[in-house]
Structure 1
Amino acid sequence: MNINRYPSFGVLLVDDEAAFLRSLSIVLERRGGINHIFQCQDSREVMDIIARENIGLVLLDLTMPNVSGEVLLQQIVEEYPEIGVIIISGLNQLETAVNCIRLGAYDYFVKTTEEDRLIEGIKRAILMQEMRLENQEMRRRFLTDTLERPEAFSSIITEDKGMRSVFQYLESVAPSSQPVMICGESGVGKELIARAIHTLSDRSGSLISVNVAGLDDNVFADTLFGHHRGAFTGADKARAGLIEQAAGGTLFLDEIGDLSQASQVKLLRLLQEGEYYPLGSDRPKRLRARVIVATHQDLAQKQKEGDFRKDLFYRLKTHRVDIPPLRQRSTDIPLLLEHFLQEAADELGKNKPTIPKELPVLLANYAFPGNIRELRALAYDAMSQHRSHMLSMDVFRQVLDREITAPEPEDLAEHMLFNPERPLPTLQEVGDLLVNEAMLRAQGNQSLASKLLGISQPALSKRLKKAQSQ
C-alpha cells in the first residue's frame, strides 16, 4: 500500500560518501518532496537492493571502490532496463558524460551543480517513469478488461462501457502524484470521480473540496494558502489553508475554469514549485497533497481565447478524464431512476412505487441538460407527489413534453444526408423512414413516437395502418 510516498516507486541513492548521501536525501525531501528514498554506501549491494525493493530510479556516483558506477550502470541497464539511472558524479568531463548517456543513463549531473537544476532533472526523470508505468498499467487493464478495485466506484451507479473505461484509466493513474483534470457537463458526477481517485490513491490524509468559482484573488489565496496572525486587517489569529488541511490527502478544486488570471498564476506556481507562502509569511511550505481539478468548460478553447493560461492548462492536463453525459449513457437511466426513487422513498418514509414500463423509454429520448442531477431532482419531485401503487408519470411528462426533441441534425455543410450520385427519395419514402425510426427509438410506444415526430397519435396510427395495408 502506497501511503503518502513520492514517488510510488523507490529512488535509490548510491555513493560511497555517507555525508553526501545524507545531504542529498535532505535536499530531495525538502526541495523536491521526494521521500521514497533508499540509500546504499557499498556498491556491491546495489543489485541486491534492486532485486529486493521496488526501485524505479537510481542516482549513481561513478567513482566508487569495489564496483565502479560505470559497471553498475551497464548491469542495471542490461538486467533492469525499465529502471531509470541518473549519474551524479564529481567528474565534470564531457567525454564521460556522453559515454554514460550512450550506455543508457537518463541524465548526467556534476555534484557541484546548483540544487535547482538537479532537483528539476530528478523530478523530470520521476515523471517519465510515472508515465511509463501508467501506460503499461493502462495497456494491461484495457487488454484484460479488468477492474482491480471496483469497490472504489461503488457510489457511481453505471453499467456503461464508456464509464468502465474511465474507471480503468483512473485505477492506472491513481498512484501518480501528478494533477488530474476531470471534464464533463454540470451534473455528471465529477465530485464522485474525485472521491474515487482519492480512495484509489490510498492516501492517509483527507479529501478537501472547494468550489473556486466566484473567488477573487485575495479570497482564493487566503482559502488555499492560509495566513499568519496580522497578515491583514482582521487577521486576529493564524489560520491553516486548505492545502495544509489536505496534507497527505487530496485537494479538489471544482469549477477551475472560472479562476481569475491572478489566481491562475498562483496555482501554476504552486504546481510548478511544489511550495507556497501563507499570507504574511516569508517561509515557504511544501505542497503535500494531490491536486484534482474539475470543470464543465472547454479549457482548450478558453486558453486559445486568452482567458486561461496555456502553461497552467498543460500542467493540469497531465491526466485528463472526460465523463460522458447522461444522454450518452441511456442504459444507466433505469438503474439511476430505481436508485433515486428508493433514496427518495426512504427519506420521505414511503414505499417505493412500481415504475411504469414506458417511463425509462420516455427518459431515454430526453437530452437531460442537467444530467444525473436533473434526473435525481425529477425522481424526488415525483416521489414527493406519489400517492398510489404505480408511480405517476405526470412530473416527468410536464418537463419532457416541453423539452423533448429529436437529436439535432448533422451540419449539412459537412455531412450530406443523401448520396449525390443517387436519386432523391420521395417524400413518402422519407416519411416512412422517419416513422420507422421514431417507433424504434420509442420501443413501439406510439404516444412517445408521435411526440418525437411532432404529430398527433391518431395521425401516427393512421400512417402505421396505411403502411401495413400496402
Structure 2
Amino acid sequence: MKKNLYPAFSVLLVDDELPWLRSLTMALNGEGGINNIIQCQDSRQVLDIINEQNVGLVLLDLTMPHVSGEQLLTTISETFPSVFVIVITGMNQVDYAVRCMKVGAFDYYVKTNDVNRIITGILHAIRIIELQRESRDVRSRLLTDRLENPEAFSDIVTTSKKMFAIFQYIESIALSKQPVLITGESGVGKELIARALYKACAYDKPMVSVNIAGLDDAMFSDTLFGHKRGAFTGADDSRSGLVEQAEETILFLDEIGDLSQSSQVKLLRLLQDGEYYSVGGDQLKRTKSRFVLATNHDLLSKQQCGEFRKDLFYRLQTHHIHIPPLRERKEDIPLLLEHFVKAAAHELGLKCPPNIPKPIPALLSRYAFPGNIRELRSIVYDEVCRNKIMLSADGFKDVINYRQEIESNPDACILGDAAILQVFLNAQRLPTYSEVEDILTEAALDKAGGNQTLAARMLGISQPGLSKRISSCKNRINK
C-alpha cells in the first residue's frame, strides 16, 4: 500500500473549537492508531464532505454556529444511513443523549480530559462499520463471479470452483483489519492461502511467518512480544518480537491449535484489543499488524472439550477460510501432477521433464491422499528421481497400494513391544540413542523405498523432523 491508512474509510471530526479538534486528532493517532481523519470546523461543509469523500464515521459536536449538531445528525441519518455518527459534546444532559440516540446516533460522549473511553467507543464503531462493509463486499463479489487481482493467486495450482470461491472471499476481506482463521487438513496449502491474502492486501512490507507449535508460554511471549534487557537470565539486550516486526503487514501464526491455555489468553487480548506488553516491560504497546492464523485441528471439538478457549474460538470466527482436502477437488490432480513433474525436473537439472503416461492421472484420482497436496508432491518427486525419461504407472501403483495398506493397517509393518524388547535383550551390548536413531531412520527409509513422507509416518514423526535426523546421521558418519 502506498499509504497505510486506518481505517480504510475516513473519520470526519466536526467541531468549531480548533484546540479540541487538534487534541482529539492527536489522541486518535496515538492511542487509537487512527490516521484516516478529516477535520471540519464549519458545520455548513459537512454534507458536502460526506458526499465527496469516503466517510464512514462522523464525530459530531452539538453546539456549533450556522448549523447545529442536532440538525446535522438528523440530516446525516436520513441522507447517509450507512454513515455512523458519534456525538461528542460538552453538554452533559440525559435528555440530549436520549434525543440523539433516537434520531440515529451510534453513541454519545461528554467531552473530558480522559479520552480513553471515547477512543474505545470509536474503535468499537469502526469494527462494526468494517464488518458491515465487508459483508456487502462479499455479496457483491460473489455475484460478479470474477477476480479483481488474479495475480495474487498465481502460486496456487487449481481449477476447482471451491478454490475459486475462496479466492473471491479473500479479495473481499483483503482491506479488513480483522484476523483471518485458515483451517484444513495437513498438506492442503494453508500457508499458500495466507500468502495469497498477503498479495491481495498489497502490503509494502514482507509477511512475517512463525510456526508456534511446541512453544511453551514463555517462548510464545518472547517470540511474539519480544523482551526488555534483563527480563530474564540471558536477556543481555532488548529484542523486538514478531508482532512489532510485522507492524503494518501480515503476521502469520501457524498451528495455533497447539497453544497452551495461558498463551491463548495472551493471543486473545492481542487479537481483541491490539495490545500487548513485551516480556519484562511495563509500557503498553499497540499494533497495526493483520493477523492470519492457521490450524489443522478441529477447534470446535477442542473448544467443546475445554482444550481451546471459547472466547478465543468465537473471536477467530470473524473471517474463516476452510480449505477443502485434495480428495474433494480431484479435478486439480492432473494440473498438480504436471506442475510437480516440471518442478522436480527443474530441481534435478533435467533438460526436459519426463513424459506422463495417460493412466497415471486416473490412477492418482482413485487414491484418497490423506497427506493431501504435500503427499502428492512427495510421490511425484520420488518417481521423477527414479524415472527421468517417462514416469512409470506401475511405480505409482505400487506406492499407492503400499500407502493404502499402511493406512488400513498401520501396525502391519511394526514389531510388537515384546519383539522389539527381545531384539535388545539378545544383543551383546545396548546401542546408544544416536545409533538407535540412525538404525530406525535407515530401516524406515528402506521399507518406504526411499520415500521420506512414508518413512516419517512409519516413525511417527513429521517429514521435516525426519529430514533433520537424516542430516544428523550424515554428519555423524562424515565425522
TM-score (norm 2): 0.82
Aligned-pair distance for 1:6? 1.5
Find the counterpart in structure 1 of residue 69 from structure 2: 69
- The Cα offsets for residues 51-86 of structure 1, whole Å up to 9 and x where unpaired, read as 222111111111111111111112222222111111
Is 1:304 paired with 2:304? Answer: yes
Aligned-pair distance for 1:399? 2.5
- The Cα offsets for residues 251-282 of structure 1, whole Å up to 9 and x where unpaired, read as 11000000111111111122223121112221
| Map 1:252-271 → 2, pairs under 5 A | 252-271=252-271
Is 1:152 paired with 2:152? Answer: yes
Find the counterpart in structure 2 of residue 363 from structure 1: 364
* Residues 255, 294 of structure 1: 8 Å contact kept: yes
- The Cα offsets for residues 188-215 of structure 1, whole Å up to 9 and x where unpaired, read as 1111111111111222222100000000
- The Cα offsets for residues 411-440 of structure 1, whole Å up to 9 and x where unpaired, read as xxxxxxxxxxxxxxxxxxxxxxxxxxxxxx
Cα distance in 1 between the residues matched to 2:113 and 2:167: 43
Find the counterpart in structure 1 of residue 327 from structure 2: 327
SS in 1 for 2:253: strand
- The Cα offsets for residues 95-120 of structure 1, whole Å up to 9 and x where unpaired, read as 22222122222121222385343222
Find the counterpart in structure 1 of residue 36 from structure 2: 36
Cα distance in 2 between the residues matched to 1:2 and 1:116: 30
Moved more, 21-30 or 136-145: 21-30
% identical equivalent positions: 59
| Map 1:168-207 → 2, pairs under 5 A | 168-207=168-207
Cα distance in 2 between the residues matched to 1:292 and 1:3: 21
Paired letter, 2:221: A
* Residues 337, 379 of structure 1: 8 Å contact kept: yes
SS in 1 for 2:222: helix
| Map 1:280-429 → 2, pairs under 5 A | 280-350=280-350, 351-388=352-389, 390-404=390-404
Moved more, 395-404 or 143-152: 395-404
SS in 2 for 1:105: coil
* Residues 222, 278 of structure 2: 8 Å contact kept: yes
Cα distance in 2 between the residues matched to 1:391 and 1:262: 51
When the two chains are superposed, the root-mean-square deviation of aligned CA atoms in Å is 1.7
SS in 1 for 2:12: strand
Q: How many residues align?
A: 405
Aligned-pair distance for 1:403? 4.3
* Residues 4, 204 of structure 1: 8 Å contact kept: no
Cα distance in 2 between the residues matched to 1:316 and 1:43: 40
* Residues 359, 393 of structure 2: 8 Å contact kept: no
SS in 2 for 1:58: strand
With over 3 angstroms needed to count, the CA separation of the structure-2 counterparts of 1:138 and 1:273, relative to structure 1, is closer
Specify every segment of 5 or more residues in structure 1 that has no aligned partner in the other structure, as ranges.
409-470
Is 1:96 paired with 2:96? Answer: yes
* Residues 249, 289 of structure 1: 8 Å contact kept: yes
Moved more, 258-267 or 199-208: 199-208
* Residues 3, 204 of structure 1: 8 Å contact kept: no
Paired letter, 1:183: T
Cα distance in 1 between the residues matched to 2:204 and 2:289: 10
Find the counterpart in structure 1 of residue 121 from structure 2: 121
Paired letter, 2:371: G
SS in 1 for 2:105: coil
Aligned-pair distance for 1:93? 2.1
SS in 1 for 2:243: helix
Moved more, 113-122 or 93-102: 113-122
Find the counterpart in structure 2 of residue 227 from structure 1: 227
Cα distance in 2 between the residues matched to 1:122 and 1:156: 39
SS in 2 for 1:157: coil
- The Cα offsets for residues 325-375 of structure 1, whole Å up to 9 and x where unpaired, read as 111110000001100100000111122122111111111111111111111
Find the counterpart in structure 1 of residue 210 from structure 2: 210
Paired letter, 1:208: V
- The Cα offsets for residues 114-161 of structure 1, whole Å up to 9 and x where unpaired, read as 534322221221111111111111111111111111110010111100
Paired letter, 1:23: S
TM-score (norm 1): 0.83
Moved more, 108-117 or 362-371: 108-117
Cα distance in 2 between the residues matched to 1:307 and 1:3: 41
Specify every segment of 5 or more residues in structure 2 that has no aligned partner in the other structure, as ranges.
409-479
SS in 2 for 1:32: coil
Moved more, 82-91 or 215-224: 82-91
